[in-house]
Amino acid sequence: MTIHSQYKCFNGMQITYSHHSALIGSEMRFGVFIPPQLKNKPMPVLYWLSGLTCTEENFMIKAGAQRVAAELGLMLVIPDTSPRGLGLEGEKQSYDLGEGAGFYVDATQTPWSKNYKMYSYITQELPQIIHSQFHVDEARVGILGHSMGGHGALTIALKNPHIYKTVSAFSPICSAIHSPWGEKAFSAYLGHDKTTWEAYDACELISTRGWQGPPILVDQGTEDAFLEEQLKPSLLEQACQRARVELQLRLQTGYDHSYYFIATFIEDHLRYHSTYL
């Protein structure tokens, strides 16, 4: 791994790394916040998945998570949202497809299928690096994210409950197959057979797999411009009710889709994960 930046922060360290990903076939970046307690004993690790257009940097700079993570002894891992600089046709034409828009799926369609394997990168290659390089407790792993990253956190946890013990989300795309963002990305990455999309849809996974872990925590702003068309938390609420999965859906009055919203409630999420991890 190559270190690109490192800063002391609340007696821990905020570091940005890059490495060559054999799975993706290119350089990938990720951020890590190492709490001061990591020197003494293995710590729980929490993965943050960012939304459309973001890199690993957005959460590190804007969310204000380090203070509470340092207090609780949580290691934070913040990956990028897609491969970059591959020269693929269409990878930079729109904000919701290609660079910055990996959607945490393993693409099966050309030209994306060779490199756009963000699901496997997040669930396999990146954890292997974290576990081999840092003193973390592999039995205490949680995941959370925002918007596209909230979709990623929910679907990844639901498919891998043996790995991720806790899951939460801010403004997640709750049913990607019923979201224009999801429809566009899934058509390009997975093809037009919509039955293949169900493996990456949170509501479908709740219905078919359930969730036996702690309550799923979701915060959603009532003034979010994407609430009705793209995010649709009511679908997640209905799916959880049918499957008897405990969901804490908190509608936060007056908040939008921005990092101001995330910064306001990130402490609640970190304390939720810490309680169960």
Which stretch of DSSP H or E encloses residue 77? strand 75-79
Are 276 and 170 contacting, i.e. CB atoms less than 8 angstroms apart?
no
Please tell me which residue in 146, 257, 269, 273 is annotated as part of the active site: 257
Known catalytic membership, residue 147: yes
In the residue annotation, 224 being an active-site residue is answered as: yes
- Taking each helix axis as running N to C, give the angle between helix 233-243 and helix 202-209, from 0 to 180 degrees, rounded to the nearest 10: 0
Q: Cα-atom radius of gyration of the chain, to the nearest Å?
A: 17
Measured CA to CA, the distance from residue 17 to residue 141 in angstroms comes to: 20
Q: In terms of Cα–Cα distance, which of 219, 186, 226 is closest to 204?
A: 186
- Whether omega for the bond prior to residue 111 falls within 30 degrees of 0, making it cis, is yes
Which is catalytic among the residues 224, 269, 273, 274?
A: 224
Is 162 assigned a catalytic role?
no
Q: Which of 147, 171, 175, 274 is catalytic?
A: 147
As a whole number of angstroms, the distance between CA 43 and CA 60 comes to: 19
Round to whole Å and give the CA distance between 151 and 134: 27
CB atoms within 10 A of CB 243: 16
Q: Catalytic residues, which ones? A: 147, 224, 257
